């Protein structure tokens, strides 16, 4: 991965303080995002992907709180900025696309005016200039008849067009980093392919770095340059995309890949990882994955493994690779 880093997250910890106890939703996550690359964060529901994104964006609310680590954006630590300071960064230097646009767009305002607000908030331009930019970005993200769609309300647009509006809103101020939290989950496969091609185009042409959060390994293989596999709040494996798929090492990642339906094999029962993601209030004493792992040893139930370096760009949180160099001092 490039030494030049736009977003550098180190040992990020975000906990929820509840009446039943402290929940480590994000537990020591480190992510490096180079310029113009698409970084994938993949894992099952409840593994901490979205909480990592919300922590980066400063959107965690009570009872959640960032309790450790640093988030460096263009070399500036934004971990503990005030709400007012973060509002100047959010949408301007770093933006986010949420999974369901209907929950993010105001239903009683035209979509064009909503995107205009993002420009007027962060840049010193007239309303006429802002409107012109919105129509331009609508055209760039593939919205037909952008002048007409400027005055459309969210309910008048299809799911694919609403998601394009959200991408336009995220890109209109040309941020250095864009976080996309499962942006294609609610779309059919044809529209999904169009949205993914659009994201790759924006990344290539504008140099924007993208963090793509998904549970779909096929999407990861298609668009990502580097991948982080998360489980129960921790990164279990990380590598360049080709390396991850060709030399999968962690049993959890292997399980995710084996559970994908394939057309080139005879019909047989689809593989499923046994058990469920553990309750974060009652994590195993050892490895977070030990209770579901087919290869777990006694040591896995007693001790927590470190993140071991097994290649130039490959790290794995598993005792099978302890002979490698520990990447997190464990």
How do residues 16-56 score in pLDDT, each as one tens digit? 999 999 999 999 999 999 999 999 999 988 899 999 999 99
**Residue 265 pLDDT grade (very low, low, confident, very high; cuts 50, 70, 90):** low
Range with top average pLDDT, 164-178, 189-203, 311-325: 164-178
Residue 165 lies in a domain: no
In a domain, 144, yes or no: no
Retrieve residue 253's tokens: 């990642």
Q: pTM of the entire structure?
A: 0.90
Please check whether residue 83 lies inside any domain of the structure.
Answer: yes
What is the distance between the terminal CA atoms of the chain, rounded to a whole angstrom?
A: 23
Nearest Cα neighbor of 141 from 162, 165, 108 is: 165
pLDDT of 241 reads 96
Please compute the mean of the pLDDT values over residues 196-220 and round it to a whole number. Answer: 88
Residue 38 domain boundaries: 7-93+175-326
Residue 187: its pLDDT value, please?
Answer: 75
C-alpha distances in Å from residue 318, one per residue of 32, 40, 190, 232, 330: 21, 20, 38, 14, 11
Instruction: State the total domains in the chain.
Output: 1
pLDDT for res 3 = 54
> Residue 159 pLDDT more than 50?
yes
Is residue 26 assigned to a domain? yes
71-86: pLDDT as tens digits: 999 999 999 888 899 9
157 in a domain, yes or no? no
Q: What is the CATH number of the domain that holds 301?
A: 3.40.50.300
pLDDT of res. 2? 45
- Whether the CB-CB separation of 93 and 175 falls below 8 Å is answered with yes
Higher pLDDT, 323 or 229: 229
Is residue 18 in some structural domain? yes
* Mean pLDDT confidence for 277-289: 93
């Amino acid at each position: 991965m490039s030494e030049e880093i736009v977003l550098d997250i180190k040992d990020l910890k975000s906990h929820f303080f509840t009446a039943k106890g402290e929940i480590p939703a994000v537990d020591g996550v480190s992510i490096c995002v180079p310029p113009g690359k698409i970084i994938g964060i993949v894992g099952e529901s409840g593994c901490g992907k979205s909480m990592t994104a919300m922590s980066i964006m400063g959107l965690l609310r009570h009872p959640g709180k960032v309790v450790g680590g640093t988030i460096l954006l263009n070399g500036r630590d934004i971990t503990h900025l005030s709400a007012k300071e973060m509002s100047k960064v959010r949408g301007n230097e770093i933006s986010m696309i949420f999974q369901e646009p209907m929950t993010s767009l105001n239903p009683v305002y035209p979509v064009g005016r909503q995107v205009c607000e993002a420009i007027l908030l962060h840049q010193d331009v007239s309303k006429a200039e802002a409107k012109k930019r919105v129509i331009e970005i609508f055209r760039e993200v593939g919205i037909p008849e952008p002048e007409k769609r400027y005055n459309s309300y969210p309910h008048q647009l299809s799911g694919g067009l609403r998601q394009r509006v959200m991408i336009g809103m995220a890109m209109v101020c040309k941020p250095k980093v864009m976080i996309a939290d499962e942006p294609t989950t609610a779309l059919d496969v044809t529209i999904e392919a169009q949205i993914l091609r659009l994201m790759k185009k924006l990344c290539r042409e504008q140099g924007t770095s993208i963090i793509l959060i998904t549970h779909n390994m096929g999407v990861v293989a298609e668009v990502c340059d580097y991948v982080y596999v998360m489980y129960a709040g921790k990164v279990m494996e990380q590598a360049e995309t080709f390396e991850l798929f060709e030399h999968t090492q962690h049993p959890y990642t292997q399980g995710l890949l084996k559970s994908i339906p394939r057309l080139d094999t005879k019909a047989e029962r689809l593989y499923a990882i046994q058990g469920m993601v553990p309750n974060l209030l009652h994590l195993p004493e050892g490895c977070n994955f030990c209770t579901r792992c087919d290869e777990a040893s006694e040591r896995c139930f007693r001790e927590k493994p470190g993140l071991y370096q097994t290649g130039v760009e490959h790290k794995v949180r598993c005792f099978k690779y302890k002979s490698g160099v520990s990447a997190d001092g464990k």
